[in-house]
């Protein structure tokens, strides 16, 4: 997840520089973490870590010995005109490639912005940080990796409450829970699905469905609220149904049958998750359902592979660079003296751009 800026020639050299900066700042002392842990924190593979360490070893900054920890021989001298990088820590429950696209697509441009302004972005992955009682795990994390500010992505109430109670400079990527006065930057899921319902109703659909994961995530709740609001406000006599599903293939196969049953089956579906969209469209094709002739589909989010589908999905697209700029500005404000008080509880909602594909059409009965 490093930048592709031409100022860096290879990913390996970027990782070597990041490790060097952590040594210089005193974050890494005496020995480097294992390849697996170091790779997880930087979101790169073990082969890239191994090659980066080889660069540092060739410069006699570290010593590699088979079966032993990689020792730090000496802290590198500070380069003239460039102070050591300060750090921002991103905390997530699982690896970035396992998260939904909207939760990670902004990270590369944000990393570039931070680097250009003298900060590095470190990633800390762990489900224990988001358990019902995360205090012990978070205390160890904060003590071991001191930083200037924290980014909490896909976070739950217990994690947010812990950072809020301690007054640590933290910014929530997503929605903050009720009673948590942390600044948050979120996608306006409620307005997005309200717009989606209105758009489909204007195309003549009177029976709409929303396909959404069975989750207590704030964004999913607002997605459902926006969809039902849109049906009520813009579709007199229209019907809106919510189809919730568990996160496994068998549940989606069952849902693909369910959404087509009965005389009041929806003629158009809004699908929250792009991966669910891909799976569901394939399962519907197995049943002989033709999109959009038999059923219109619209996705709440974008996914890069959508560009390569024979029937391009209609979807909502968020600008990752614009989002990165907002996150960066909020982080800088939160780190100023009294900044946490000034930006605490502030919510910034970003609305996407609708991109029409070939997956929606008027219903056949109109």
- The answer to whether 41 and 123 have CB atoms below 8 angstroms apart is yes
Of the pLDDT bands very low, low, confident and very high (cuts 50, 70, 90), residue 104 is confident
Q: CATH number for the domain including 258?
A: 3.40.50.2300
Of the listed ranges 40-54, 150-164, 179-193, the least confidently predicted one is 40-54
Which bin fits 26, alpha (ψ -120 to 50), beta or left (φ > 0)?
A: left
57 compared with 197, residue with greater pLDDT: 197
- Degrees to nearest 5, angle at CA 206 with 201 and 211: 80
CA pair distance 296, 164, nearest whole angstrom: 43
Q: What is the pLDDT of residue 341?
A: 59
Its pTM stands at: 0.72
- The number of residues making up the chain comes to 366
Q: What is the pLDDT of residue 28?
A: 79
Of the pLDDT bands very low, low, confident and very high (cuts 50, 70, 90), residue 336 is confident
Q: What is the pLDDT of residue 81?
A: 52
Residue 255 domain-assigned?
A: yes
Q: What is the pLDDT of residue 35?
A: 84
DSSP 204: T
The per-residue pLDDT for range 124-160, each reduced to its tens digit, is 999 999 999 999 999 999 998 889 999 998 888 999 9
User: How large a percentage of the chain has pLDDT more than 90?
Assistant: 50
| In the block, residue with structure tokens 């991103």 | 90
Of the pLDDT bands very low, low, confident and very high (cuts 50, 70, 90), residue 83 is low
The per-residue pLDDT for range 286-308, each reduced to its tens digit, is 999 999 999 999 999 998 899 99
Residue 170 domain-assigned?
A: no
3-state secondary structure of 313: coil
Rg (C-alpha) for the chain, rounded Å, is 23
Residue 344 domain-assigned?
A: no
**Alpha-carbon separation of residue 299 from 12, 276, 316, 363 (angstroms):** 36, 9, 7, 18
Residue 221 domain-assigned?
A: yes
The last residue of a domain, from among 275, 292, 318: 318
- The answer to whether 313 and 277 have CB atoms below 8 angstroms apart is yes
Instruction: Identify whether residues 312 and 193 lie together within a single domain.
Output: yes
Residue 197 domain-assigned?
A: yes
Asked if the model's pLDDT at residue 172 lies above 70, the reply is: yes
> DSSP alpha helices (H): ranges in the chain?
11-24, 35-42, 46-58, 107-116, 135-144, 157-165, 189-202, 218-234, 249-258, 274-286, 320-335, 339-343
- The answer to whether 124 and 152 have CB atoms below 8 angstroms apart is no
φ, ψ for residue 127 (rounded to 5)? Answer: -70, -25
Residue 98 domain-assigned?
A: no
Q: CATH number for the domain including 55?
A: 1.10.10.10
**Alpha-carbon separation of residue 93 from 6, 46, 130 (angstroms):** 32, 20, 7
The last residue of a domain, from among 30, 49, 84: 84
Do β-strands 353-355 and 347-350 pair in parallel, antiparallel, or remain unpaired? Answer: unpaired
Residue 11 domain-assigned?
A: yes
Q: Tally the C-alpha atoms within 13 A of residue 215's C-alpha that lie toward its C-beta.
A: 16
| Domain residue limits at 17 | 1-84
Residue 269 domain-assigned?
A: yes
The per-residue pLDDT for range 188-244, each reduced to its tens digit, is 999 999 999 999 999 999 999 999 998 877 788 899 999 999 999 998 889 999 999
The last residue of a domain, from among 84, 116, 144: 84
The structural domain count of the chain equals 2
Average of per-residue pLDDT values in the chain: 86
Which residues sit opposite 74 in a β-bridge? none
């Amino acid at each position: 997840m490093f930048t592709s800026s031409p100022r860096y020639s290879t990913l390996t050299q970027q990782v070597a520089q990041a490790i060097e900066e952590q040594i210089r700042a005193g974050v890494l002392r005496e020995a480097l973490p294992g390849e697996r842990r170091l790779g997880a924190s930087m979101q790169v593979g073990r082969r890239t870590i191994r090659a980066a360490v080889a660069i540092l070893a060739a410069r006699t900054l570290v010593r590699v010995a088979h079966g032993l920890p990689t020792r730090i021989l000496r802290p590198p001298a500070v380069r003239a005109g460039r102070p050591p990088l300060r750090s921002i820590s991103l905390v997530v429950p699982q690896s970035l490639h396992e998260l939904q696209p909207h939760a990670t697509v902004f990270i590369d441009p944000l990393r570039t912005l931070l680097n250009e302004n003298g900060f590095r972005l470190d990633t800390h992955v762990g489900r224990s940080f988001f358990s019902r009682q995360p205090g012990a795990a978070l205390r160890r994390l904060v003590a071991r990796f001191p930083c200037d500010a924290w980014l909490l992505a896909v976070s739950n109430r217990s994690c947010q409450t812990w950072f809020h109670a301690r007054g640590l400079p933290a910014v929530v990527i997503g929605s903050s829970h009720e009673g948590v006065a942390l600044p948050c930057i979120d996608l306006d899921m409620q307005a997005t699905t309200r717009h989606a319902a209105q758009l489909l109703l204007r195309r003549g659909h009177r029976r709409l469905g929303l396909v959404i994961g069975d989750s207590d995530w704030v964004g999913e709740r607002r997605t459902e609220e926006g969809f039902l609001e849109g049906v009520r406000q813009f579709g007199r006599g229209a019907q809106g149904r919510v189809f919730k599903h568990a996160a496994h293939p068998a549940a989606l196969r069952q849902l693909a049958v369910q959404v087509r049953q009965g005389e009041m089956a929806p003629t158009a579906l809004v699908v929250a998750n792009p991966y669910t969209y891909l799976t569901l469209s394939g399962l519907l094709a197995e049943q002989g359902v033709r999109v959009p002739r038999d059923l219109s589909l619209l996705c709440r989010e974008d996914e890069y592979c959508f560009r390569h589908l024979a029937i391009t999905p209609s979807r909502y697209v968020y600008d990752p660079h614009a989002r990165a700029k907002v996150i960066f500005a909020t982080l800088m404000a939160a780190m100023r003296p009294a900044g946490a008080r000034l930006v605490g509880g502030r919510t910034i909602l970003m609305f996407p751009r609708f991109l029409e594909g070939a997956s929606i059409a008027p219903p056949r009965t109109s």
